[in-house]
Chains A and B, each alone.
Chain A
Amino acid sequence: MSIAVDRDRAFLASVRRIAEDVAALYADEVDRDARFPRETIDALREAGALSAFVPEHLGGGEVSLAALAHGCLELGRRCSSAAMVFAMHQIQVATIVRHLDAAPWFESYLRELASDQRLVASVTSEIGTGGDMGRSIAAVMPAQDGGLEFEKQAPTVSYGGHADDLFTTVRRSAGAEPGDQVLVLSRASETELQPAGSWDTIGMRGTCSPGFVVRARFGPEQVLAAPFSTVMHESIVPLSHILWSFVWLGIATEAFERGRSFVRAAARRKPGDPVPAAHSLSRVMSELSMLRAEVESALQEFILASEEPGRERLSTMASVLRFNNLKLAASEQAPRVCTGVLEVIGIAAYKNDSPFGVGRQLRDALSARLMVANERIHAVDAGLLLIAKEI
C-alpha cells in the first residue's frame, strides 16, 4: 500500500469517526439554536484535519482531493453545517496550496495554519455586485501607517465570526476595473468585523453567515500574486462546486438511509408481507445514484484536468460549463432525494422529533440552489452556450 493511500485512509477514518461521534451528537442542537458547530470543528482541529490538504513539507497531511471530498460527504451525513464549514475552509486552503507559487509569506502562513489548525473563511460576495464573484467594489488602498487596507460590505460571511483568518476578494487598487481582482489573506487580529445583519435561516443554520462590514490592514506580501480570474477558473469555482456537492450528496445520502431504515423496520415487523414503501424507496435510490454519479465523475474530471501541465483545460468554456452543470444538477437533485424520502416514510419523516425525520436534511439541502443562485449560473451558461463550440 502506498503512503498516499494510507494517508487518505487514515484521514477518512478519523473524519468518519468525528462525524459519527461528535457531529451527529450536536447536529440537532446546532440547527435548533443556529449556533456554530464548535465541538465538531474542534475535533477536526485536534485530528489535524484543517491542514489535511497542506503539503507534508509545510506541516500538513497532504491527503488527496478525493479524500477531502469524501470527508465532506461523511460530515454532510451527520451535520450539514459542520460539513459546509469544513468544505469552505478546505476550498480556501486548496486555493492557496494550488496558487501560492512558492511565495515565502504564503508558505509560512500554511505552516502556521497547520501548526495552529487555523480556520479560514472567505469574503467573496459584496453588496452592489449582484452576486457576481468576478467583480469587486472594495479595493486595496494605501493605509496611513504605510501598509495596505480595504473596507468591504459583505452580505454574507460564512462562520465569519468564528474564523481565525479571512480570504477576501478586492480590486487590485483604487483605479482598477471591477474585474481586476486579487485575494488578500488577513488574520483576525488584523481584521475588524462589524456585524451587519442576522442569520436566522430555514437551513444551514450552524454556518452562522450574517453580513459584515470587513476592514483589514495588511502588508503587500499578504496579497496572492496570481490574478483572481485564473484562481477563480482553475480552483475556486470548480473546487467550490465539487466540495459543496459532496456535502449535498452527504445530506441526501443520510435522508435516503433514514428511508431505508424505515422500510427495513417495516419489512422486519411482518416478513413476507408486501412493503409498498420499498417501491418508492427504489425510485429514490435511482435519484440518489444519479446525484452520486454526477458528483463523483466531476471530481474525477477535475483531478485529471488538474494534473495536466498548466491546467489550461480548467479555463476552457467546456470546463466552466461542466462544473456549473455539476452545481446546477447537484443542488436540485439533493432536495429531490430528500422530498422523495418524505414520500417513502410519510408523516414520520415530517415530524421533527422522529428518528425517521428528514426535515433538517430537506431544509439544509434547499440552501444549495441559493449558494451562488442557480439562475445566475444559468445566465452565465446561456451566454457560453451561444459561443462555445465544444461542450
Chain B
Amino acid sequence: MNDNVKVEIRRVLRDHARLPVDIDSIDEQADLFQAGMSSHASVNVMLALEDAFDLEFPDQMLKRSVFESVAGIAAAVNELQPEAA
C-alpha cells in the first residue's frame, strides 16, 4: 500500500482525533480509542477522511473496528478507493 495514504491518514488523525500523544508515536496497529480518541472525535476523523480521500464510508463500515487503528483505516480506504493504494 502507498505510504502516502498512511501519511494522509496520520495528518487527519493529528488534526481531528484529539489524541493526548503525538500521532507519530503511535504504531499503525495500536488501538486509537485506547490511546484516547473519543467517539465524538472519531466522527470528525471520518468526515475529514471522506473529504481528504473524496470517498464515502458506507454504513456497514461505520464501526469501531474500522476506525480503531491506522492500519484499519488504511485497509478501509484501500477497499473503497483501490486507486489510492
Is B48 part of the binding interface, using a Cβ–Cβ cutoff of 8 Å?
yes
Which residues of chain A have C-beta atoms less than 8 A from B51's C-beta? 268-269, 271
Rounded to whole angstroms, the CA-CA distance of A264 and B55 in the bound complex is 12
Rounded to whole angstroms, the CA-CA distance of A53 and B43 in the bound complex is 45
Q: How many residues of A contact B (CB 8 A)?
A: 6
Main secondary structure of the interface of B (DSSP, over half): helix
Which residues of chain B have C-beta atoms less than 8 A from A264's C-beta? 47, 50
Which residues of chain A have C-beta atoms less than 8 A from B47's C-beta? 264, 267-268, 271
Rounded to whole angstroms, the CA-CA distance of A271 and B47 in the bound complex is 6
Which residues of chain A have C-beta atoms less than 8 A from B50's C-beta? 264, 268
Is A272 part of the binding interface, using a Cβ–Cβ cutoff of 8 Å?
yes
Rounded to whole angstroms, the CA-CA distance of A25 and B50 in the bound complex is 26
Which residues of chain A have C-beta atoms less than 8 A from B48's C-beta? 268, 271
Q: Tell me the number of A-to-B contacts counted with CB atoms below 8 Å.
A: 17
Rounded to whole angstroms, the CA-CA distance of A364 and B50 in the bound complex is 32
Rounded to whole angstroms, the CA-CA distance of A267 and B47 in the bound complex is 7
Interface size class of B (residues with CB under 8 A): under 10
Which residues of chain B have C-beta atoms less than 8 A from A268's C-beta? 47-48, 50-51
Rounded to whole angstroms, the CA-CA distance of A7 and B16 in the bound complex is 47
Which residues of chain A have C-beta atoms less than 8 A from B44's C-beta? 271-272
**B16, B43, B45, B48, most chain A CB atoms within 10 A:** B48
Which residues of chain A have C-beta atoms less than 8 A from B16's C-beta? 271-272
B17-48 to A contact mask, C-beta < 8 Å, 1/0: 00000000000000000000000000111011
Q: Which residue of A lies closest to B50 (CB)?
A: A268
CB distance from A121 to the nearest CB of B (A): 40
Q: Which of B45-67 contact A (CB under 8 A)?
A: 45, 47-48, 50-51
Rounded to whole angstroms, the CA-CA distance of A267 and B48 in the bound complex is 8
**A267, A268, A269, A271, most chain B CB atoms within 10 A:** A271
Rounded to whole angstroms, the CA-CA distance of A272 and B47 in the bound complex is 9
Rounded to whole angstroms, the CA-CA distance of A272 and B46 in the bound complex is 11
**A264, A268, A269, most chain B CB atoms within 10 A:** A268
Rounded to whole angstroms, the CA-CA distance of A272 and B51 in the bound complex is 13
Rounded to whole angstroms, the CA-CA distance of A268 and B44 in the bound complex is 8
Q: Which residue of B lies closest to A268 (CB)?
A: B51
CB distance from B13 to the nearest CB of A (A): 12
Which residues of chain B have C-beta atoms less than 8 A from A271's C-beta? 16, 43-45, 47-48, 51
Q: Which of A233-269 contact B (CB under 8 A)?
A: 264, 267-269
CB distance from A355 to the nearest CB of B (A): 14
CB distance from B48 to the nearest CB of A (A): 4
CB distance from B84 to the nearest CB of A (A): 17
Rounded to whole angstroms, the CA-CA distance of A353 and B27 in the bound complex is 47
Q: Which of A255-304 contact B (CB under 8 A)?
A: 264, 267-269, 271-272
**A267, A269, A272, most chain B CB atoms within 10 A:** A272
Q: Which residue of B lies closest to A265 (CB)?
A: B51
A101-115 to B contact mask, C-beta < 8 Å, 1/0: 000000000000000
Rounded to whole angstroms, the CA-CA distance of A267 and B50 in the bound complex is 10
Q: Which residue of A lies closest to B46 (CB)?
A: A271
Which residues of chain A have C-beta atoms less than 8 A from B43's C-beta? 271
CB distance from B25 to the nearest CB of A (A): 22
CB distance from B54 to the nearest CB of A (A): 9
CB distance from B16 to the nearest CB of A (A): 5
Rounded to whole angstroms, the CA-CA distance of A271 and B52 in the bound complex is 11
Which residues of chain B have C-beta atoms less than 8 A from A269's C-beta? 51
Q: Which residue of B lies closest to A273 (CB)?
A: B44
Rounded to whole angstroms, the CA-CA distance of A198 and B16 in the bound complex is 58
CB distance from A328 to the nearest CB of B (A): 34
CB distance from B61 to the nearest CB of A (A): 15
Write the residues of chain A forming the contact surface with B, with a CB cutoff of 8 angstroms. Answer: 264, 267-269, 271-272
A-B pairs, top 6 by smallest CB distance, nearest first, are A271-B44, A268-B51, A271-B47, A271-B48, A272-B44, A268-B47
A–B Cβ pairs within 8 angstroms, 15 of them: A264-B47, A264-B50, A267-B47, A268-B47, A268-B48, A268-B50, A268-B51, A269-B51, A271-B16, A271-B43, A271-B44, A271-B45, A271-B51, A272-B16, A272-B44
Write the residues of chain B forming the contact surface with A, with a CB cutoff of 8 angstroms. Answer: 16, 43-45, 47-48, 50-51
Known: A267-B47, A271-B43, A271-B47. 7 other contacts (CB 8 A): A264-B47, A264-B50, A268-B47, A268-B48, A271-B16, A271-B44, A271-B45
